[in-house]
A and B are shown apart, each in its own frame.
Chain A
Amino acid sequence: MRARAIVLIAISLIAAGCRKKTVPPSAVDLQNKVTVRSIQLFYESPALTLVGEQRAVSLPENPAAALPLILRELLKGPATAATPRLLPADVTIRGAYLLPEGTAIVDLGGATLVAGWATGSHQELMAIDSIVQTATVNVPEIKRVRILVNGTPAETLGGHVSLARSISPRPASLVVSNR
């Protein structure tokens, strides 16, 4: 029995040793080249439109690698307490894919969204718009955003706005000047 256990441990250790992820050097170089950039994060203004907040963030140059970091920065919330947070505090970015055709897939997580976010259509629309606006303004390759929840398609975030299709940025009239 003891010998069998040792054999099994040995097998697992050998197998673990073999699990070395191979990543092409070029991709590693590109993704790891980090610079400090000024990005705009969109929150709600007192006029109930979106307003951009400038923030300096260290980001990889690769847009696909930068996208999830930009969105995670958005979820940290606005710099001033006077500006409200649009998404629930426990929302996370599980992942974000960038496709060459201009569609970004943003995968959200968090207990509130999974359980059903009880909010009004205004906040739900603005929360979605803040993600879409932040993604499209900071990553010019992105034209539209498809939102998933916990890795799967969701009907809505809060019972109103259909997430069945990708969402484009809202008209410029709904976004006020940057500050």
Chain B
Amino acid sequence: MKRLIAAGTLLALTLASIVLAQSPGQATLRLAAGDRPLTYFQQGPVIFVSAEEVVLGLGGTLTPDSSGYKVTLNNVVAAFGSDSRYGVVREDLIEMPVVPVIVDGKPFVPWQFFQGLLARSGDLDAAWDATAKALVIRPRQLNTLSAQVTLANVQGISKVVVTLSAASEYTILREPGFYTVRFKAALRPAVAEQAFEDPFVAKATISGTDVRLQLTAADVVADAYQLDAPFRVILDLRKAGDSAQVVPGLRAPTQAVEQPGVHTIVIDPGHGGKDVGATGPNGLMEKEATLQLCRRLATVVAAKTGARVVLTREDDSQVSLDQRTSIANQYKADLFISVHLNAAPSKGASGSETYFLSVEASDELAKRAADTENGSAVMSAVPADDLKLILWDLAQQEYLQESSRFAQAIQEEMNTATGVGNRGVKQAPFKVLVGATMPAALVEVGFISNPDEETKIRTEEFQTLVVDAITRAVVRYKNEYETRLGIAQPLAPAPLAPAVKPAAAAATTATVPAPARTGTK
């Protein structure tokens, strides 16, 4: 009984602490039309505001639905729930520091929800004034351009992307320890100062007309170029004299010789480390088989093409999907091939298939970005992560036609040589292909989930067939590409079969800016 009383008291204390912690106080909703009372409470550093009061103050509506609450504001509909710290608006996510909570039947959200929502639904900004205990809603300054700095995740080269809400003339200044991008237009920073844990960039500061990058060393140099839709200035920063930085575990690239053609090929054995990939019914792990295949492939491709061949992993290490692509970019590879083994719930599934990237989703983003530049939306309608993604998507989009040719060559050779079923050339949004700045394909050699194919894949004979088939595809593609460049003669009388037309490529290539990689390698 005593134990029961103690447990009850503990429960009561816990409940009381939750209630007291969420005891609402009175703040102010500061609008252009005047101040309104706003119920709020604070938990640690997080300020929760009454969603209903803010939405009504902004002239919107808040309605509960099956999985949370729906906010309608300026014909834009957003939603949030108490089970996720991500609200949704259109296709975007609004990140909140913690999940919304329901107090006395009313939803309270971290104020950042409204900052994210307003950035996507009109020309207002939201900010929390801690001193005045006020959520301040104010118009964006229209005579300035919103500016945002992101550091794209490309290993070895720090890709700084400065994105503005509209185009502006600029000059790039080099001072000791700094690069400064000086625009003609005044800038309105999304974040005035950002610190980075990056080998080359310590800090980015936006002030007045300048975006100032504080460098980590005196010998950091940058290549700069501009992209449109949305307007961006990109600085690729690296150490002077390096064509790329060394990736741990890989040989240092030698100084790149800038010649046209296929000179560097990156081969990616799928999975690795804790990520075993699929496992066959008799225990063969995909990560082991792909490594074994790719080691042999690297040797044979290097011998047959004379190209420098780099593996994204040479042992059972875990390499992230982004890092695999980054290695290819870092080595300025001319071809990227990711090797996998397939799996299906049906044991009878069999055959090989080759993929290149589909970019359907990025078309929508690219269009939105273009709309942004045309003034139909504010720049901040495209969140920072999306901007990075657009840049990465565009990187591979530029090579889709070549990627489709390469994929076609692989699939044809696999089909001819290995005797496994031909499942064709396909497109899908494979993460490992996004962001590759060269023709890139992913081959599924066969189904490890099929006992017969699993047995085949274990054999040296079959592995040799696969290695030879992919090598022939690389040689064919290299020769065909270099013939088109006018630096090689066709190897065989029969040219490559017509490439699979990449879905949506025709609609989007027109918006792709001139390549950063000029083909002068």
9 CB < 8 A contacts A-B: A18-B104, A27-B64, A120-B277, A120-B344, A152-B84, A152-B85, A152-B86, A155-B321, A162-B434
B431 to A156, Cβ gap below 8 A?
yes
Q: How many residues of B contact A (CB 8 A)?
A: 71
A95 to B83, Cβ gap below 8 A?
yes
From A33-41, A50-58, A62-70, give the one contacting chain B. A62-70
B428 to A161, Cβ gap below 8 A?
yes
Q: Is B342 an interface residue (CB 8 A)?
A: yes
Q: Is A90 an interface residue (CB 8 A)?
A: no
Q: Is A99 an interface residue (CB 8 A)?
A: yes
Cross-chain contact of B16 among A12, A22, A105, A161 (Cβ < 8 A):
A12
From B161-169, B358-366, B403-411, give the one contacting chain A. B358-366
B349 to A48, Cβ gap below 8 A?
yes
Instruction: Give every chain A residue within 8 A of B15 (Cβ-Cβ).
Output: 8, 12, 15-16
A44 to B105, Cβ gap below 8 A?
no
CB distance from B14 to the nearest CB of A (A): 9
Q: Identify which of residues 350-408 in chain B touch chain A, using a CB-to-CB cut-off of 8 Å.
A: 353, 355, 360-362, 364-365, 385, 389
Kindly list 6 other residue pairs between chains A and B, CB separation below 8 angstroms, not including A96-B67, A122-B353, A151-B85.
A8-B13, A19-B102, A97-B88, A107-B83, A119-B343, A125-B428
Q: Is A178 an interface residue (CB 8 A)?
A: no
Q: Is B186 an interface residue (CB 8 A)?
A: no
Instruction: Give every chain B residue within 8 A of A155 (Cβ-Cβ).
Output: 321, 431
CB distance from A41 to the nearest CB of B (A): 15
A97 to B431, Cβ gap below 8 A?
no
Cross-chain contact of B67 among A16, A68, A103 (Cβ < 8 A):
A68
Q: Is B73 an interface residue (CB 8 A)?
A: no
CB distance from A68 to the nearest CB of B (A): 6
A123 to B345, Cβ gap below 8 A?
yes
Cβ contacts B319-348/A at 8 Å (1 or 0 each)? 001000000000000000000111111101
Q: Identify which of residues 66-95 in chain B touch chain A, using a CB-to-CB cut-off of 8 Å.
A: 66-68, 77, 79, 81, 83-86, 88-91, 93
Q: Is B240 an interface residue (CB 8 A)?
A: no
B279 to A118, Cβ gap below 8 A?
yes
Cross-chain contact of A151 among B86, B106, B353, B364 (Cβ < 8 A):
B86
Instruction: Give every chain B residue within 8 A of A107 (Cβ-Cβ).
Output: 83-84
Cβ contacts A152-167/B at 8 Å (1 or 0 each)? 1101100111101111
Q: Identify which of residues 281-297 in chain B touch chain A, using a CB-to-CB cut-off of 8 Å.
A: 286
Cross-chain contact of B342 among A84, A118, A122 (Cβ < 8 A):
A122
B361 to A153, Cβ gap below 8 A?
no
A97 to B68, Cβ gap below 8 A?
yes
The 3 closest A-B pairs by CB, nearest first: A120-B343, A84-B345, A165-B361
When A65-B65, A84-B346, A165-B362 are in contact, do A120 and B444 touch as well, CB less than 8 Å? Answer: yes
A167 to B86, Cβ gap below 8 A?
no
Instruction: Give every chain A residue within 8 A of B442 (Cβ-Cβ).
Output: 121
A95 to B88, Cβ gap below 8 A?
no
A16 to B355, CA, bound (A): 56
Smallest CB gap from A104: residue in B = B88
From B171-179, B255-263, B268-276, B479-487, give the one contacting chain A. B268-276
A82 to B428, CA, bound (A): 27
Q: Is A46 an interface residue (CB 8 A)?
A: yes
A162 to B431, Cβ gap below 8 A?
yes
Cβ contacts A1-30/B at 8 Å (1 or 0 each)? 000010011011001101111111001000
Smallest CB gap from A159: residue in B = B275
Cross-chain contact of B105 among A22, A151, A153, A168 (Cβ < 8 A):
A22
B345 to A62, Cβ gap below 8 A?
no
Residues of A whose CB lies within 8 Å of any CB of B are: 5, 8-9, 11-12, 15-16, 18-24, 27, 31, 44, 46, 48, 60, 62, 64-65, 67-68, 84-86, 94-97, 99-101, 103, 105, 107, 116, 118-123, 125-126, 144, 146, 148, 151-153, 155-156, 159-162, 164-168
Instruction: Give every chain B residue within 8 A of A60 (Cβ-Cβ).
Output: 66
Which of A46, A62, A68, A160 is the most central at the interface, judged by chain B CB atoms within 10 Å of its CB?
A: A160
CB distance from A155 to the nearest CB of B (A): 6
CB distance from B72 to the nearest CB of A (A): 9
When A64-B66, A85-B345, A146-B91 are in contact, do A118 and B276 touch as well, CB less than 8 Å? Answer: yes
When A21-B102, A148-B86, A153-B86 are in contact, do A161 and B345 touch as well, CB less than 8 Å? Answer: no
Cross-chain contact of B64 among A5, A9, A23, A94 (Cβ < 8 A):
A23
Instruction: Give every chain A residue within 8 A of B85 (Cβ-Cβ).
Output: 151-152
CB distance from A24 to the nearest CB of B (A): 7
A151 to B104, Cβ gap below 8 A?
no
A24 to B63, Cβ gap below 8 A?
yes
CB distance from A21 to the nearest CB of B (A): 4
A105 to B88, Cβ gap below 8 A?
yes
A121 to B63, CA, bound (A): 39
B84 to A120, Cβ gap below 8 A?
no
Q: Is B19 an interface residue (CB 8 A)?
A: yes
CB distance from A88 to the nearest CB of B (A): 10
CB distance from B4 to the nearest CB of A (A): 13
Instruction: Give every chain B residue within 8 A of A48 (Cβ-Cβ).
Output: 344, 346, 349
Smallest CB gap from B338: residue in A = A160
Instruction: Give every chain B residue within 8 A of A84 (Cβ-Cβ).
Output: 344-346
Instruction: Give every chain A residue within 8 A of B90 (Cβ-Cβ).
Output: 99, 101, 103
Instruction: Give every chain A residue within 8 A of B449 (Cβ-Cβ).
Output: 120, 123
Cross-chain contact of B91 among A5, A16, A62, A166 (Cβ < 8 A):
A166
